[in-house]
């Protein structure tokens, strides 16, 4: 077989790859050695800004197959009949850690999916938890700052985290999940995934229902306890990446079953909580899981940077028949996610292989950094025009609906919606067994012992009040192990 010639990025072959051009064998390097310049200049630009959140992650390609008929809920072509399938890409990640942090850190896990459908790419960008810490995107930068590093010391801070959580009781539901062993999953294959937000589906009759997406792992739930997670962080900080790659390379393809929950618009009006509040769940006894299909991951990307690091996901990437909801966190993400990718990867990130729609992209976006004109060439860059054959298809017309109110204001997110304790209490008493509850308390106490500074007692007591309101036993156990004396004044304050 003929060998390939070594070339510059321009394609010109060259020979001198090992030695710089110098004046004499020990002389200075010449500026005219442009090959040296090209290689060094490219090398120092090999990285792009890491994600602010979800920086450390793993990815794989696979297939999604429809196994059950849900066409009565959605006109999405993907779900039009049983047996339909599409290629997909999944990226799993931690949330707060940097690119080199440990896979086993106590943290929620990102669960981002890209479905390459004939109607465009559909991104479902969620977590391994059905809820989140906050219910309004305006609070997101503040929340993430508390999960990162203190500006002065550049160290993580339990004080900062618990101060924020104790001042925002809406976080309690997610905090209890995070502090349980579900906060340290045994790699990515052994955890569930959730769209978390409420979305909508619209059928062929232009009827809308509200939906939640659940991906249940077929490998079974498996978690580290806190001590195991800490130990593994030191032994193999890339444990989850290695576990996923090894499984796929060995033919042990990980799989998840997709289910949806469905709520009608009438049911939403009578629901006990705001159905668009991402800090709450819909009880499965009231809104049972409906099986939809199966996701299988079966291909490790050939180049991590090109595919996993440059992959971009946004909940604004929706397809006909699936749409958004009034969820305030979701509404904020519709802007912030694509904006983050335009900054981090570039305005033409959608042209990269991992992000590109493999069927067709016909629009009038042009130019910008790293533009690839192979699709649009010399076609007009304006609409309407007399030269191309691109026409808007009326069958994809958006869903028309009436809003409940025409009054614009800055509504208090918790007004008439301030029950932050019932669902966390039920999570503790109903969803967790005795061992789960013991580990939860152990993990909470271990984390809260890191609270320090002049506001330590104030922060601890404020958070204890939230635990007591969710469940007296939970509050008492945490207080006891933190050596906090509970007096009648505190109990009266809780009531």
How far apart are alpha carbons 418 and 280 in whole angstroms?
A: 11
Would you give the DSSP letter of residue 258? E
Tell me, letter by letter, the H, E, C secondary structure of 312-359.
Answer: CCCCCCCCCCEECCCCHHHHHHHHHHHHHHHHHCCCCHHHCCCCCCCC
Among candidate residues 17, 42, 54, 466, the one labeled active-site is 54
Encode burial over 287-325: b for 16+ CB neighbours within 10 A, e otherwise: beeeebbbbbbebbbeeeeebbbbbbbbbbbbbbbbbbb
127 is catalytic: yes
341 is catalytic: no
How far apart are alpha carbons 314 and 473 in whole angstroms?
A: 41
Q: Nearest to residue 35, comparing CAs of 6, 64, 74?
A: 6
- CA terminus-to-terminus distance, the chain: 81
Q: Nearest to residue 71, comparing CAs of 290, 361, 372?
A: 290
Q: 294 - beta bridge partners? A: 65, 257
Contacts of 139 (CB under 8 A, 6+ apart): 168
Q: Nearest to residue 321, comparing CAs of 248, 397, 405, 417?
A: 397
Q: Nearest to residue 197, comparing CAs of 270, 268, 147, 129?
A: 129
What Å distances lie between residue 353 and 240, 248, 432, CA to CA? 24, 21, 43
Among candidate residues 17, 39, 68, 127, the one labeled active-site is 127
How far apart are alpha carbons 351 and 263 in whole angstroms?
A: 36
As annotated, the active-site residues are: 54, 127
């Amino acid at each position: 077989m003929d060998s390939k010639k070594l070339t510059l990025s321009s394609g010109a072959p060259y020979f001198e790859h090992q030695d710089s051009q110098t004046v004499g064998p020990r002389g200075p390097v010449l500026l005219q050695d442009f090959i040296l310049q090209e290689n060094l200049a490219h090398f120092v630009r090999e990285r792009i800004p890491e994600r602010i959140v979800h920086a450390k992650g793993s990815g794989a390609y696979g297939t999604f197959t429809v196994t059950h008929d849900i066409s009565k809920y959605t006109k999405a072509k993907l779900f039009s009949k049983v047996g339909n399938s599409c290629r997909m890409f999944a990226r799993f990640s931690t949330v707060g850690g940097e690119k080199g942090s440990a896979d086993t850190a106590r943290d929620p896990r990102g669960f981002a999916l890209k479905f390459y459908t004939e109607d465009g790419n559909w991104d479902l960008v969620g977590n391994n938890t059905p809820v989140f810490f906050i219910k309004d995107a305006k609070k997101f930068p503040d929340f993430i700052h508390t999960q990162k590093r203190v500006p002065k010391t550049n160290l993580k801070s339990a004080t900062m985290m618990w101060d924020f959580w104790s001042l925002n009781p809406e976080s309690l539901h997610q905090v209890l999940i995070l502090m349980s062993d579900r906060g340290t999953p045994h790699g990515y294959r052994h955890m569930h995934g959730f769209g978390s937000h409420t979305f909508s589906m619209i059928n062929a009759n232009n009827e809308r229902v509200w939906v939640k997406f659940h991906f249940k792992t077929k490998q079974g739930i498996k978690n580290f306890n806190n001590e195991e997670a800490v130990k593994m962080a030191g032994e193999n900080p890339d444990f989850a990446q290695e576990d996923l790659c090894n499984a796929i390379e060995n033919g042990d393809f990980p799989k998840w079953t997709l289910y949806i929950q469905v709520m009608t618009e009438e049911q939403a009006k009578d629901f006990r909580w705001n159905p668009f509040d991402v800090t709450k769940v819909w009880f499965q006894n009231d809104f049972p899981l409906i099986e939809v299909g199966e996701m299988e991951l079966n291909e490790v990307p050939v180049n991590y940077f090109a595919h996993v690091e440059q992959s971009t996901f946004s909940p604004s990437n929706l397809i006909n028949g699936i749409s958004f909801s009034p969820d305030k966190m979701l509404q904020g993400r519709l802007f912030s996610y694509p904006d983050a990718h335009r900054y981090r990867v570039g305005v033409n990130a959608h042209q990269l292989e991992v992000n590109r729609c493999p069927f067709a992209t016909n629009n009038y976006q042009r130019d910008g950094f790293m533009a690839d004109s192979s699709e649009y060439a010399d076609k007009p860059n304006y609409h309407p025009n007399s030269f191309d054959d691109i026409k808007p298809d009326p069958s994809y017309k958006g869903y028309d609906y009436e809003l409940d109110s025409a009054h614009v204001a800055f509504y208090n997110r918790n007004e008439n919606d301030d029950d932050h304790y019932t669902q966390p209490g039920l999570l503790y008493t109903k969803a967790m067994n005795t061992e789960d509850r013991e580990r939860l308390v152990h993990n909470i106490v271990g984390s809260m012992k890191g609270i320090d500074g002049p506001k330590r007692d104030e922060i601890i007591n404020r958070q204890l009040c939230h635990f007591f309101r969710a469940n007296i036993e939970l509050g008492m156990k945490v207080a006891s192990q933190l050596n906090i004396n509970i007096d009648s004044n505190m109990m009266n304050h809780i009531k």
